[in-house]
Structure 1
């Protein structure tokens, strides 16, 4: 499906920056992007770096001039920003606002728009992102397929579960940091720890991605663990010391927050 040629963004934070850079990387996926100037530093940098970017001081102008609008506002201020805007019936609106359901968004928007939600991650700037989309929608999926891959969720529960899983990004890097600290405490220079760990974790992720849907992650765990070896011991200790239970609790708590 062809992409919209003009996309507007209300809100100019990290995710907007990543999406715009991904959409306008060569070859460009859209002909023009309109941005709000709420974050003057990010919007000015995007406009300086990318000739297809137009910055508007007025959010309503973005609504009026773009058939597709992305709402990328912090949830704490979203209602105050959205309610005064006048959307058109049938307008395409994509919300990337965290932990805010479609009924709430529809109430704030106050028009019969075509509303979808998405969870883009920073990797979309390199067109490497995987993005959950709800409800299934060919136009929204086309945008995020241009930025990597879209996963269309059939139900809100599927979408909420993937949103909970995406909250593990900080944990992923936190594990790398704690491992770096452990190595440094035992005499390994930190730069050597980072030089070793970053490609190690990257290659493991690539292996998981290449394995295909029919290979369970636990099978990969066994494949990379010699019987009676160090990998098997580390995972066994992780399990026995409550690591898996702590992970499940953290995901459960995040999921509960997402569901409100």
Structure 2
């Protein structure tokens, strides 16, 4: 795809443009909606071939692949009256918006593919779940780190629910650093150490020869510190509470 349109230029839109354009001699043409004007103008100034359009219709008209990245609550307002020809390819990255709902909103028979790009697409290191599988969309996200196509929206919603745990992980790290500071450690030192500690965990996750369960076991000594925190804090009750929270989110996404 040589002409990419993005309607809704927030954090994911910014990450997509960065991943598509940074460090390549042959970036695609990218057309941005005027929504998120500050970010769109910044990206246009930074990357040759990135343009801010007058309105969303111009984005569609100039693009082969159109990415819809507005907030769910702004869906109808942002897309009202938009004309999307059947020759376009639409990628929906809005959580909780089904294919049929978006197709009705756009009044189009164009192919619509759902996707869950994460901010790490900016570094071309994000595996993006897509639904349904589409060769051009899969190739697009393969360039940005990888594509994981699923064939039905029920499975897609499960993956979407998993992404809802990201900021909980950050909040967990904040709590660890705050606890250390409460015990006399300089806040900057606590922050630095927690970052280093979990960057190491992140690197270990790249070892796909070991399952997640195996990795957990390999980092734990019987009756050691890690086992103590896991069994006293993240015991069956906390595990069940997390599962119930995910079930509730999944029900809403359906």
Normalised TM-score (structure 2) = 0.95
Match of 2:230 among 232, 235, 256: 235
2:40 corresponding residue in structure 1? 43
Match of 2:55 among 54, 58, 69: 58
Match of 2:247 among 238, 243, 252: 252
Residues 169-223 of structure 1: CA deviation (Å, up to 9, x unaligned)? 10110100011111111111111111111121122122122133xx331221111
Q: How many equivalent residue pairs?
A: 254
- In the aligned structure 1, how far is the partner of 2:235 from the partner of 2:111? 48
Equivalent residue of 1:244, what SS? Answer: helix
Question: Structure 1 residue 144: deviation in Å?
Answer: 1.1
- In the aligned structure 1, how far is the partner of 2:38 from the partner of 2:187? 33
| Unaligned stretches of 5+ residues in structure 2 | none
- In the aligned structure 1, how far is the partner of 2:167 from the partner of 2:25? 30
Match of 1:220 among 200, 215, 233: 215
Is the contact made by 1:10 and 1:35 (CA closer than 8 Å) also made in structure 2?
Answer: yes
1:168 corresponding residue in structure 2? 165
After TM superposition, the structure 1 = structure 2 runs for residues 104-183 of structure 1, keeping only pairs within 5 Å, are 104-183=101-180
Match of 1:31 among 25, 28, 40: 28
After TM superposition, the structure 1 = structure 2 runs for residues 185-224 of structure 1, keeping only pairs within 5 Å, are 185-212=182-209, 215-224=210-219
Is the contact made by 2:9 and 2:69 (CA closer than 8 Å) also made in structure 1?
Answer: yes
List 4+ stretches of structure 1 deviating above 3 A.
Answer: none
- In the aligned structure 2, how far is the partner of 1:119 from the partner of 1:161? 11
More displaced 10-residue stretch of structure 1: 24-33 or 99-108? 24-33
Is the contact made by 2:6 and 2:59 (CA closer than 8 Å) also made in structure 1?
Answer: yes
- In the aligned structure 2, how far is the partner of 1:120 from the partner of 1:23? 13
Residues 2-57 of structure 1: CA deviation (Å, up to 9, x unaligned)? xx001011111111111011100111564210001111100110011111101111
* Structure 2 residue 90 is matched with structure 1 residue 93: yes
Is the contact made by 1:238 and 1:244 (CA closer than 8 Å) also made in structure 2?
Answer: no
More displaced 10-residue stretch of structure 1: 78-87 or 106-115? 78-87
Equivalent residue of 2:140, what SS? Answer: helix
Equivalent residue of 1:97, what SS? Answer: coil
Is the contact made by 1:29 and 1:146 (CA closer than 8 Å) also made in structure 2?
Answer: no
Is the contact made by 2:7 and 2:69 (CA closer than 8 Å) also made in structure 1?
Answer: yes
Is the contact made by 1:37 and 1:56 (CA closer than 8 Å) also made in structure 2?
Answer: yes
- In the aligned structure 2, how far is the partner of 1:152 from the partner of 1:56? 31
Normalised TM-score (structure 1) = 0.93
Equivalent residue of 1:94, what SS? Answer: strand
Question: Structure 1 residue 237: deviation in Å?
Answer: 1.0
